[in-house]
Each structure stands twice: as structure tokens, then as C-alpha cells.
Amino acid sequence: MEIDELNKRIKECKKCRLSETRMNAICGEGNLNAKIMLIAQAPGEKENRAGKMFIGPSGKVLDELLNKAEIKRHEIYMTNLIKCMLPKYRKPKQDEIKACSYYLNEEIKLINPKILAPLGYYATCYIFQKYSILSPSKAEFSSIYGKLFLGGDKKILPLPHPATLLHNPDFKQDLIESYRKLQVLLKDCKWYPVCPMKRFYEEGKLDRKWIELYCKGDWESCIRYQMEEKGEFHPDWMLPDGTLDEKYIGRSGKNN
């Protein structure tokens, strides 16, 4: 299916009760070759009226966060887990998620982004379930925002929904930091060409997940990277999370 055909189906969809209260079902928007797909929960009131994504107060916050991350809207693809407004901003019901996520799954297939950034609790739970990643409890949920996960061939970066800032302006710096990770993920670590992790991976000694999560992912969080930047000694077999792989302790002690 092409994107135009999919969007036509979204606009005409009557698969769940939300079709009775919506004004517009909102299709995804943005770059069809995007590396990053943002997945919000559902449209708000302004979006529902105008039939466009992120034009209300959350959209303003999103623009500011993307701006700080030096990412332009036209570089990414944005969509919702639920395509129609939830009456009085109530929580989505499981049967609504089940019915509507068909469209999101098709969008992921068509756009094929490398990075999925679900915004907020429901979008993140859905994406984690889809890619068989264990969700944390609701109480611990905020701890995963801004952290990178791997699911199949996708990198998954859960982010707080921009609307968080409308209710809790004190979290602004935290949100800026989390969204800035999107920019980090677009580039590989500058040390990768000379890093022992590359060599060990190519020799088949190191699991690919380390390369994807750190060297070609969130290299800023890599302990090796941080120590390299400070000129601090670290053994070849120190893994990116700072642990030593005991199989190799004692075999080498050189810096990068």
C-alpha cells in the first residue's frame, strides 16, 4: 500500500467509537524518507479541528524542543498511535489501540525509519510491546525517557510527551536533554573508527547490541567515550557501559 492510500483509509476510518466524536482523523506528516519517526498519543482539540498534526499548544512546545535539538520538522515523520481525538482527553482504551495501531504499523513499514521515538506512556507501551521489550512499571516509567533500546532493526528512544511541559514547566531542562538525544543518534561516535569495540565486533567477539546502542547510537552515554574525552585510561576490554568483560581481563591493558 502507498502512503496516499493509507492516509485515505485513515481519513475514512470507522473501526472504533472515536470516529463518532472526531472532526478529523489525523494522518501522519513529514518526510517520507525520515530516519526518525515521532509517535505521539492522539490529536488534541486544535489538531482535531484543523486536520493537522501538532498545531496546538503541544506543537509549540515540540517545535521548541526540536529547535534545541537542531532538528527540523521537515526532516522527521510525525504520527499518532490513535488517529482521532480522545473525548475530553481521556485515556485510550485497549480496543481503540488495537483497532488504530494497524495504521501505525503500516506507517512504520512504509517509512521504515531507523529511529522510533514514542512520546509518552501509551505510545511507548505500544512500541515496547510490538518489539518485545519489557515495559517498566508505571511508577518507574519516567526513568526510561531519553534512554535507547533496540527492537529488531529499530532504535527506540522513548521521550516525554511535549504536553508534559504545559503542566510541569519545571521539567523543561529534562525534556531538552531527552530530545537532544535525537541529534546524538543521527551521528556515529567520532572514536568508532579507532575504537577497540569496532575491532572486537568485526572479529566476532562482541555482540552487535553494543555497537548499535552506543557506537552507532547513544555514544554520549558511553563510559569509554566519556573517559576518552577526558584523556583517562581505560582498558581495551572495558565495555561501553563501563563494565569489564571478565573473559578478557588481564589480556590487554592498552588505551584506545
Contact residues toward ligand SF4 (CB under 6 A) are 189, 191-192, 195, 197, 214-215, 219, 222, 224-225, 228, 240
In order of 137, 145, 239, the CA distances from 140 in angstroms are 5, 10, 26
CB of 192 to ligand SF4, least distance (A): 4
CB of 35 to ligand SF4, least distance (A): 19
Give the residues across from 47 on adjacent strands: none
List, in order, residues 6 or more apart from 43 with CB less than 8 Å away. 24, 26, 53, 80, 83, 84, 85
CB of 152 to ligand SF4, least distance (A): 21
List, in order, residues 6 or more apart from 22 with CB less than 8 Å away. 48, 84, 85
Torsion of CA 166, 169, 172, 173, to 10 degrees: -170
List, in order, residues 6 or more apart from 197 with CB less than 8 Å away. 206, 210, 211, 214, 215, 224, 239, 240
Q: Which residue, 155 or 161, is less far from ligand SF4 as judged by CB?
A: 155
CB of 159 to ligand SF4, least distance (A): 21
Grid cell, residue 75, equals 526532516
Q: Which residue, 61 or 182, is less far from ligand SF4 as judged by CB?
A: 182
CB of 36 to ligand SF4, least distance (A): 20
Grid cell, residue 254, equals 592498552
Q: Which residue, 131 or 192, is less far from ligand SF4 as judged by CB?
A: 192
Q: Which residue, 18 or 222, is less far from ligand SF4 as judged by CB?
A: 222
Q: Which residue, 61 or 148, is less far from ligand SF4 as judged by CB?
A: 148
Q: Which residue, 68 or 216, is less far from ligand SF4 as judged by CB?
A: 216
CB of 126 to ligand SF4, least distance (A): 29
Residue closest to 201 by CA, chosen among 155, 154, 245, 157: 245
